[in-house]
Amino acid sequence: MEAFVIALAASVATWPEFDLQVCFKLVGKLKLQEDLKQAAASLPHPVYYLPSGDFGLFKLIKWADIVHGQNTSPDIVFPARLLGKKLVLTIHNWRRQNLQIHSILWVLGARLAHRRWYNSRFVWNTWEPKKKLTGSDCVPTVCRLPGTSCPPGKRKGFLFIGRWIENKGLEELVMAYSQAQLDPAQWPLVLLGDGPLRPKIESLIAQHGIQGVEMPGFVDDQKKSNRLASARWLVAPARTREDLGLTPIEARSVGVPVIVTRDGGLPESGGESAIIVEPGNVTELANALKQAATMSEKEYIARGELGQRTLQSFLRPMEFYRESYTAILNPA
């Protein structure tokens, strides 16, 4: 979310018809990360870091003609409408169904916005399950895509990218890879990232004598891009109701086909060329790995090209926000 805000702000800064101030709200006991400050330091406009409920946030809202909030925070939504400001919201996360006051206020806040841009259709459907409101749309928030490339004939193996935490499907992926019985030299499984599940994953690999699994840990952006472009397939096997899923989009952008689970927004980010399996189903995932490994070169290349081509209509350029802001401030 923070990367999206910085990327959008950088674009707005180049549009001479707009002035801009950026505010990151510090929630609860979360501390300001130095890498966020460094990334935001490149912006040519003021950037503020304020705790929830700070009066400085109210003053910033009062200054603005249009307020673009991330999610439906009441301390942004209600002051903006009280002050008569145009309000747009990018809603990144699916709605948790409960009757707590926090949830009720967030639902009301979404309805008060002049525009609601949901991160995926899955997220949209949790907020507006029956009738879609006027002013709502699906606008995936992707700010930066890898710029590397690799010819299909030089790609190898399967790649997972993400935090090693529960419900990301790591255990199922390792067991499915073992069950698929593929040549580990030609079809290695690379697990990028790290996290609390590492001991469990290492134990599974040792217990079942699984060959071909590489675990480089966290890598920098350039190495990640190189790994992604040179993988034969990207695998995103989550079972956690992903809001969207960035790694399948990154893979599609460089022509790498994907295997995803039917989980949250992953089928959307995987696109129509993806191989889709049920979350948590090890046998089905193993069959998908075998299908990918035995696929003809012609079909493989066609899937990669289709995924890359259809991504252009799935994503919106930053110019979309410029046109939208202008239309909101100057209705016909």
**What is the rounded distance in angstroms from the CA atom of residue 64 to the CA atom of residue 66?**
5
Yes or no: say if 58 and 79 are a contact pair by the CB < 8 Å rule: yes
Q: Give yes or no: residues 133 and 206 share one domain.
A: no
CATH code assigned at 156: 3.40.50.2000
Q: Give yes or no: residues 251 and 120 share one domain.
A: no
Q: Which domain holds residue 258?
A: 152-314
Q: Give yes or no: residues 296 and 160 share one domain.
A: yes
Domain count, the chain: 2
Q: Using CA atoms in the order 283, 289, 294, 296, what is the torsion angle rounded to 10 degrees?
A: 130
Q: Give yes or no: residues 258 and 159 share one domain.
A: yes
Yes or no: say if 228 and 250 are a contact pair by the CB < 8 Å rule: yes
Q: Identify the pLDDT of residue 35.
A: 86
Q: Give yes or no: residues 255 and 181 share one domain.
A: yes
Yes or no: say if 157 and 231 are a contact pair by the CB < 8 Å rule: yes
Considering the entire predicted model, what is its pTM? 0.93
- Residue 302 per-residue DSSP state: H
Give the C-alpha distances (Å, rounded to integers) separating 217 from 158, 163, 196, 253.
Answer: 15, 10, 12, 23
Residue 238 lies in a domain: yes
Q: Give yes or no: residues 86 and 166 share one domain.
A: no
pLDDT tens, per residue, the chain with 332 residues:
899 999 999 999 999 999 999 999 988 777 788 888 898 999 999 999 998 888 999 999 999 999 999 999 999 999 999 999 999 999 999 998 887 888 889 999 999 999 999 999 999 999 999 999 999 999 999 988 988 999 999 999 999 999 999 999 999 999 999 999 999 999 999 999 999 999 999 999 999 999 999 999 999 999 999 999 999 999 999 999 999 999 999 999 999 999 999 999 999 999 999 999 999 999 999 999 999 999 999 999 999 999 999 998 999 999 999 999 999 999 87
Q: Give yes or no: residues 160 and 309 share one domain.
A: yes
Judged by DSSP in three states, 282 sits in helix
Give the C-alpha distances (Å, rounded to integers) separating 91 from 110, 116, 144, 177, 187.
Answer: 8, 7, 19, 35, 38
Residue 147 lies in a domain: no
Short-list 70, 71, 67, CA closest to 82: 67
Residue 135 lies in a domain: yes
Reported as type and span, the H/E element at residue 180 is: helix 170-180
Residue 68 lies in a domain: yes
**What is the rounded distance in angstroms from the CA atom of residue 108 to the CA atom of residue 77?**
9
Strand partners, 296: none
Q: Give yes or no: residues 204 and 230 share one domain.
A: yes
Distant-in-sequence, close-in-space partners of 36: CB < 8 Å, separation ≥ 6? 2, 24
Residue 95 lies in a domain: yes
Q: Identify the pLDDT of residue 77.
A: 96
Q: Give yes or no: residues 122 and 164 share one domain.
A: no
Q: Give yes or no: residues 304 and 324 share one domain.
A: no
Residue 25 lies in a domain: yes
Q: Identify the pLDDT of residue 324.
A: 97
Q: Give yes or no: residues 31 and 156 share one domain.
A: no
